[in-house]
Amino acid sequence: MEESSSKNKTVTGLPEQTEAALCYVLGWVSGLALFLLEKDSKLVKFHGLQSAVLFGGLHIISMILGMIPVIGWALLPFFGIATFVLWLVLVVKTYQGSKITLPIVTDFVNKQLK
């Protein structure tokens, strides 16, 4: 990432990298909120929509797993740990300026933002 892009101000007044990382902090809620609020930063809009789609989908999957007796209940803790690790990686890497490419989700987000 270019150093000048990390200095760009956003709707919150924070640097672009910081606001992009904040898109992931509260999962789909912060992603959707920042996607809707941000007007200028394509980086923040990308990460906001990616967060909303990814964590919204994972939330729905976890709800479905919770409704499946025995097998779903057994898988739910592992699913939760994997989701937490993914969340942590996305927050840290985005703040550092990396762009994480996620199968299916990133392609969908890129098509929506064209």
pLDDT at residue 11, as a whole number:
87
pLDDT digits (tens, 9 = 90+) for 22-62: 999 999 999 999 999 999 999 999 999 999 999 999 999 99
Identify the band that residue 5 occupies on the pLDDT scale cut at 50, 70 and 90: very low
pLDDT at residue 3, as a whole number:
41
pLDDT at residue 1, as a whole number:
40
pTM of the model: 0.87
pLDDT reading at 6 higher than 70:
no
pLDDT at residue 4, as a whole number:
42
**Percent of the chain residues topping a pLDDT of 70:** 93
Q: What is the mean pLDDT of residues 9-31?
A: 94
- The residue extents of the domains of the chain are 3-109
- 10 in Cβ contact with 19 (< 8 Å): yes
Q: What is the mean pLDDT of residues 9-15?
A: 87
Give the Å distances, CA to CA, from 55 to 2, 21, 31, 61, 80.
27, 14, 9, 10, 12
